Amino acid sequence: MTADAVIVGAGIAGASIAFHLTQAGAGRVLLLERESSQGKGSTGKSIGGVRAQFASEVNIRMSMYSIPVFAAFEEITGHESGYKPHGYLFCATTDRHLDYLKTNQARQHQLGLHAARMVSPADIAAMAPLLRADDIVGGSFCPTDGFVDPHSVMTGFTLRALDRGAELIRAAEVTGIAVANGRVQGVQTSAGLIATRVVVNACGAWAAQLAALAGATLPVEPLRRMLVPTEPYPGTEGLPMIVDMSTGFHFRPEGRGLLLAWNDPSETPGFKTAFVPEFIEKILTHAVDRVPGFIDLEVNPRRAWAGLYEMTPDHHAILGPAPEVEGLYYANGFSGHGVMHSPATGRILADLILTGSTSLIDANVLSVRRFSEGRAIDETAVL
């Protein structure tokens, strides 16, 4: 079997890359999925948030490209994205946090994100009257932020790519990458050998292991994140994603209930995918502190789940060619932003593979070389 490009990992990032490559007429594109179905990795475990309220220029630009794609997804792909522009509301409880939001927003406005605005404590109380707001000094809000259905987006990208001639091979685990004279020659899989000159690593938390098969080093490691859905709770329909900057606790509507999230600072890297029941008490402590009415929240531990972030040292993605191996490309290390930046990721990778450059961002900024060259990026707006 031969292919013009093989994408390893058919989650939302891999699906977007396949979509954009086939849109550009890249030839025969193969998507490899080691599971029997797509979305069993980070895509299916995501909270689904999409936002442009970031601190770094490259993340803002990627969001500003991606969010309009989600809004027009059905027109673009023929399938729904589930995009709900309920907004993200960041609530600051210190002047330092407020100054931080103002600094970020100045950069966002400079880049054209004029919908983002600062909000007063009175504004926040009106937008989310359920919050305890006695210590809130202000915040920021962007109405085009919101959430999508990650599985629907992945499926839409995939099906449109298949319509254009791409092929999805399930239950195909990659066991080796053939390299000769510093260049990719093919991919060995449990389904057989595929001859190709282009391999895209879209393996999520398992990205470093795939890179190692080609003799490359990739600074990506898994970090567990846990999410807690609640039973139905009245009065939360239409709320934005609310972020309590004092603790990092955040939540959004999910059906008739809520989806609660908090990044436990005691969590350590590793392939830990089991949900820890004790986490519920921790997150509910933060939830009740910010929303006293949540003392009545009902949670079924059996509905909670854990997933893996794919973390880089600077919490930014690694996109583009591997310096050690010609023909190997990275779409990895999204550090929790893989779903929201999936449209931009597909566009950037397709551009780099087919033309060697992209107009969407300065591709050098997200090159893996930045770590060895001392160019790590400062992104503090990480949830």
Last residue of one domain, picked from the residues 266, 296, 311: 311
Planar angle of CA 340, 342, 347, nearest 5 degrees:
135
CA 49 vs CA 126, 131, 150, 171, 364: distances in Å: 22, 20, 9, 29, 26
Q: Which two tokens stand for residue 144?
A: 């085009």
Strand-pairing partners, residue 31, are 7, 168
Q: Which two tokens stand for residue 110?
A: 């400079």
Report the candidate in 113, 69, 146, 77 with the shortest Cα–Cα distance to residue 347.
Answer: 69
The whole model's pTM is what?
0.96
Q: What is the DSSP letter of 246?
A: T
Last residue of one domain, picked from the residues 311, 333, 359: 311
54 found inside a domain: no
Residues 167 and 40 both lie in one domain: yes
383 found inside a domain: no
Residues 188 and 91 both lie in one domain: no
20 found inside a domain: yes
Last residue of one domain, picked from the residues 259, 294, 311: 311
Residues 324 and 344 both lie in one domain: yes
Q: What is the DSSP letter of 8?
A: E
Residues 256 and 359 both lie in one domain: no
Position 39 scores a pLDDT of 85
Per-residue pLDDT of the chain (383 residues; tens, 9 = 90+): 999 999 999 999 999 999 999 999 999 999 999 998 888 888 988 999 999 999 999 999 999 999 999 999 999 999 999 999 999 999 999 999 999 999 999 999 999 999 999 999 999 999 999 999 999 999 999 999 999 999 999 999 999 999 999 999 999 999 999 999 999 999 999 989 999 999 999 999 999 999 999 999 999 999 999 999 999 999 898 999 999 999 999 999 999 999 999 999 999 999 999 999 999 999 999 999 999 999 999 999 999 999 999 999 999 999 999 999 999 999 999 999 999 999 999 999 999 999 999 999 999 999 999 999 999 997 666 66
Pairing of the two strands 88-92 and 241-244: parallel
64 found inside a domain: no
Position 382 scores a pLDDT of 61
Report the alpha-carbon distance of residue 259 to residue 121 in Å, rounded. 24
- Amino acid identity, residue 110? Q
* DSSP string across 36-97: SSS--SHHHH---EE----SSHHHHHHHHHHHHHHHTHHHHHSS----B---EEEEE-SHHH
Domain harbouring 211, CATH code: 3.50.50.60
59 found inside a domain: no
Residues 161 and 273 both lie in one domain: no
212 found inside a domain: yes
Residues 348 and 262 both lie in one domain: no
Q: Around Cβ 248, how many Cβ atoms within 10 Å? A: 15
Q: Which two tokens stand for residue 363?
A: 């591709």
Position 40 scores a pLDDT of 83
**Domains contained in the chain, number:** 2
62 found inside a domain: no
- Exposure of 37 by Cβ count < 10 A (0-12 exposed, 13-18 middle, 19+ buried)? exposed
55 found inside a domain: no
Report the alpha-carbon distance of residue 81 to residue 15 in Å, rounded. 13
Position 87 scores a pLDDT of 98
CB-CB contact of 173 with 34 (8 Å): yes
Count of residues in the chain: 383
Phi and psi at 381, nearest 5°, equal -85, 65
Q: Which residues contact 105 (CB under 8 A, 6 or more apart)?
A: 53, 116, 117, 118, 140
Residues 177 and 322 both lie in one domain: yes
Name the residue with tokens 């009545």: 296
Residues 230 and 306 both lie in one domain: yes
Domain extent, residue 272, equals: 84-144+222-311
Domain harbouring 266, CATH code: 3.30.9.10
Residues 135 and 226 both lie in one domain: yes
Position 38 scores a pLDDT of 87
Position 191 scores a pLDDT of 84
Report the alpha-carbon distance of residue 315 to residue 145 in Å, rounded. 20
* DSSP string across 116-148: -EEE-HHHHHHH-TTS--TT--EEEEETT-EE-
Residues 302 and 168 both lie in one domain: no
CB-CB contact of 43 with 339 (8 Å): yes
Residues 179 and 292 both lie in one domain: no
Residues 302 and 154 both lie in one domain: no
